[in-house]
Amino acid sequence: MHSLYENPLVTRYASKEMAENFSDDKKFKTWRKLWFVLAQSQKELGIDISEEQLEQMNTFQNDINYDYACKKEDELRHDVMAHIHAYGEQCPLAMPILHLGATSAYVGDNTDILIMLDGLYIIRRKLISCIALLTDFAVKYKDTSTLGFTHFQPAQLTTVGKRACLWIQDLILDVEELEQVFTSIRLRGVKGTTGTQASFLELFNQDHDKVKLLESKVAQKLGFEKVYPVTGQTYSRKLDSRILNLLSSIAQSAGKFSSDLRLLQGLKEVEEPFENLQIGSSAMPYKRNPMRSERMASIARFAIINSLNPAMTASTQWLERTLDDSANRRIVIPQSFLAVDAILNIYMNVAKGLIVYPRVISKRVREELPFMASEHILMEMVKRGGDRQLLHERLRQHSMEASKRIKLDGEENCLLDFIAGDSAFNISRTELEEVLIPDRFIGRAPQQVVEFVEENVSPMLERYRHEKTDNAELKV
């Protein structure tokens, strides 16, 4: 047991991969990489920086003297300056040119962008995996008739596979939004204290072309073709808001799936995985509580609410910058990524092991189908010469009586018996049974599944065929 609070997103829910992505170690190593490529690019453009200085910086890029950095931060109350001193302590030759012309946002903001980008790659891979798993499920059950619900009241029939396509489509919309976000992400670049590049213009003796080329070189070394054309001291915090809105959207999709699955599990039609030794309740041994789906809903709520933070931050930044974003962003951004990572871990695990109970589904369909077939029966009787208005009223009366007996007396649905016994209809019970074939009431649901997969899902899965992951294991 630990004596201090630990974040359960790290200890219980999110993957090690995502936790490492937002670790201090990755952040500070990225800072050093940014300092190195800045110095390297400055040398290439004629600044007096020696190969020995660059070699020393390169040697210690990933070997951080954390004890020294912590000691200096206690003294200086400034994390960037503390790490400049720590880097310089290991690279005494390079100390005079470290961070040359830069401001703290050069390492801070550019690092945040790089780390969020890596986090989105992890998220995209897991999104694609969820889509692939649900697609297999949808195709397998595309013909399995099931009772559809509106307002959680019995409606027309659909199929188990068609319903799964609703979940898939939400995730596809998330991937499409993610693709748009990817195209909008640029590096903050090399902008200086208030974004004017004044310090770099001074460094290069008022040579504007070299200042522009410096920024281009740094961006290219970090894998970017573009930087934001203008910034204050920081890049616009609207980027954070846009990224966390995307994460919120994914959480919304997962929350919808979670709600649907819990309703279906309550109906005993479809269940999430339940392991041999798993305990559903400490008091009720028979319980098979949908704890995975419940956890998904719980963390999804957190991720959705968290998206409000960067929106507020973006709207309250003063002029070229204010530091009231810093503490908030340190908490909100990593935790949103960790939360959605955790959600998708659960989603993959559940989608991989969904359990369907066709007999329960069929029983419920049979119970409700006579009501749904009433319009079909009405049309058939009119074809045989019946009075549509008279028959409609008789059907209404019989339906109300059958519904009352089901609800008040617990009887089976006797609507067909009422109709067969009513001379106004002139139809036998056997003929009515022939009408009640579930496949006649599911419309184009099976075809919709096939068309949706072929036209929408498969092209996306093919495009990202190298990005799926099979790791759907949960810690608890």
What's the pLDDT tens digit per position in 174-198? 999 999 999 999 999 999 999 999 9
Determine the pLDDT at residue 173: 98
- Whether 426 is covered by a domain: the verdict is yes
Q: Is the pLDDT of residue 431 over 60?
A: yes
- Whether 430 is covered by a domain: the verdict is yes
pLDDT tens per residue across span 37-85: 999 999 999 999 999 999 999 999 999 999 999 999 999 999 999 999 9
pLDDT tens per residue across span 4-35: 899 999 999 999 999 999 999 999 999 999 99
- Using a pLDDT cut of 90, give the percent of the chain over it: 76
For the chain, how many structural domains are there in total? 1
Question: Could you write out the three-class secondary structure of the chain?
Answer: CCCCCCCHHHHHHCCHHHHHHCCHHHHHHHHHHHHHHHHHHHHHCCCCCCHHHHHHHHHCCCCCCHHHHHHHHHHHCCHHHHHHHHHHHHCCCCHHHCCCCCCHHHHHHHHHHHHHHHHHHHHHHHHHHHHHHHHHHHHHCCCCEEEEEECCEEEEEEEHHHHHHHHHHHHHHHHHHHHHHHHHCCECCCCCCCCCCHHHHHHCCCCHHHHHHHHHHHHHHCCCCCECCCCCCCCCCHHHHHHHHHHHHHHHHHHHHHHHHHHHHHCCCEECCCCCCCCCCCCCCCCCCCHHHHHHHHHHHHHHHHCHHHHHHHHCCCCCCCHHHHHHHHHHHHHHHHHHHHHHHHHHHHHHCCEECHHHHHHHHHHHHHHHCHHHHHHHHHHCCCCHHHHHHHHHHHHHHHHHHHHHHCCCCCHHHHHHCCCCCCCCHHHHHHHCCHHHHCCCHHHHHHHHHHHHHHHHHHHCCCCCCCCCCCCC
Active-site annotation holder among 78, 184, 208, 281? 281
> 288 near 274, Cβ under 8 Å?
yes
> 241 near 331, Cβ under 8 Å?
no
Lowest mean pLDDT among 92-101, 274-283, 342-351, 396-405: 274-283
- Whether 2 is covered by a domain: the verdict is no
Query: For 127, how many CA atoms within 13 A lie in the half-sphere containing its CB?
Result: 27
Domain CATH number, residue 409: 1.10.40.30
Domain that holds residue 397: 374-435
- Whether 325 is covered by a domain: the verdict is no
- Whether 411 is covered by a domain: the verdict is yes
Q: How far is CA 35 from CA 61, 100, 281, in A?
A: 9, 9, 54
Q: Is the pLDDT of residue 473 over 80?
A: no
Average pLDDT over residues 208-214: 97
Confidence of residue 286 (pLDDT cuts 50, 70, 90): very low
- Whether 40 is covered by a domain: the verdict is no
248 is catalytic: no
Confidence of residue 415 (pLDDT cuts 50, 70, 90): confident
Active-site annotation holder among 2, 3, 151, 423? 151
Could you tell me the end-to-end alpha-carbon distance of the chain, in angstroms, rounded to an integer? 16
Confidence of residue 426 (pLDDT cuts 50, 70, 90): confident
281 is catalytic: yes
Determine the pLDDT at residue 285: 45
The whole-angstrom separation of Cα 357 and Cα 365 is 13
- Whether 133 is covered by a domain: the verdict is no
The whole-angstrom separation of Cα 204 and Cα 232 is 21
Average per-residue pLDDT in the chain?
92
> 161 near 143, Cβ under 8 Å?
yes
* Selection from 220, 127, 224 nearest residue 185 by Cα: 224
| 189 CB burial (10 A radius; 0-12, 13-18, 19+) | buried
Q: Is the pLDDT of residue 276 over 80?
A: no
Confidence of residue 433 (pLDDT cuts 50, 70, 90): confident
Q: Is the pLDDT of residue 469 over 80?
A: no
Q: How far is CA 421 from CA 399, 401, 417, in A?
A: 14, 14, 6
| pTM flag (> 0.85) | yes
Between vectors from CA 283 to CA 301 and to CA 3, what angle results, nearest 5°?
60
Average pLDDT over residues 122-135: 97
Determine the pLDDT at residue 105: 94
Q: Which residues contact 149 (CB under 8 A, 6 or more apart)?
A: 155, 263
- Whether 382 is covered by a domain: the verdict is yes
pLDDT tens per residue across span 310-366: 999 999 999 999 988 899 999 999 999 999 999 999 999 999 999 999 999 999 998
